[in-house]
Amino acid sequence: MAAAFSALVLPKWTDDSSLKSAISWVHNHQLRPINFSTHICVSRAPILRRGNQFKRPVCQSANPAVEIKKQSAVAKSAPVLPFRVGHGFDLHRLEPGLPLIIGGIDIPHDRGCDAHSDGDVLLHCVVDAILGALGLPDIGQLFPDNDPKWRGAASSVFLKEAVRLMHEAGYELGNLDATLILQRPKLSPHKEAIRTNLCELLGSDPSVINLKAKTHEKVDSLGENRSIAAHTIVLLMKK
């Protein structure tokens, strides 16, 4: 019969082989055993029971075939953050005879972006900012430029997918701040149209979308009207 005891402290035994001696000691002292089915409660200083006094003993399996389940380690999951910040950057070479698309708006100019898709430098860096905030692969991995499917594709397709992934992850846009860098043309006449289209694509209020344009003071390819670049920072908030 499996037995365990409490309320009286026994001398320390060096190992479990002394169990028989412990049980014999118990019977000699007229202590009542407690049936714990296939488990015997033992310890270095066993706790026994006399009368109605009881202290829960430490249990150990008496049957080698019976194993106490070990507590499994809790898998570490990604932290659920209230905010996420992402940065995006893009740069395209300008070539004569190509359309210049910025923020989904066709900007009149004698040059346009040389790219696999429509070369919208602003939407590309907005996509990368959102993907970066979510900890996802960048736009080049999701929409590779060696895939014929994306040849000449409107960059709004990429942005809509980034927005879908953002909502799927349980986030919404807090605010966006973008800076366009180009020597020509001047973007002041087109900024509101660009911002309005960006708000529509993102499903956001204009108050959380900011757009700035800078020249590069005629320095390097940006300043020589040979390229265009953009930086974007986004703040995502948990819904």
Same-domain status, 54 and 89: no
pLDDT in tens, 62-110: 444 444 444 444 446 667 899 999 999 999 999 999 999 999 999 999 9
Same-domain status, 117 and 222: yes
* Radius of gyration of the chain, Cα coordinates, nearest whole angstrom: 35
pLDDT in tens, 33-56: 444 444 444 444 444 455 555 455
CA angle 179, 183, 185 (to 5 degrees): 90
pTM (2 d.p.): 0.67
Sole residue written with tokens 């972006």 = 113
Q: Is the pLDDT of residue 149 over 60?
A: yes
Same-domain status, 171 and 195: yes
Most confident segment among 63-67, 146-150, 208-212: 208-212
Bond preceding residue 185 cis, omega within 30 of 0: yes
Average pLDDT over the chain reads 80
Same-domain status, 103 and 36: no
**Is residue 102 within 8 Å of 190, Cβ to Cβ?**
yes
User: pLDDT value at position 74?
Assistant: 43
User: pLDDT value at position 54?
Assistant: 47
Same-domain status, 154 and 210: yes
75 found inside a domain: no
Structural domain containing residue 35: 1-68
SS3 44: coil
Same-domain status, 56 and 173: no
Percent of the chain with pLDDT strictly greater than 90: 59
Q: Is the pLDDT of residue 120 over 90?
A: yes
How many structural domains are present in the chain? 2
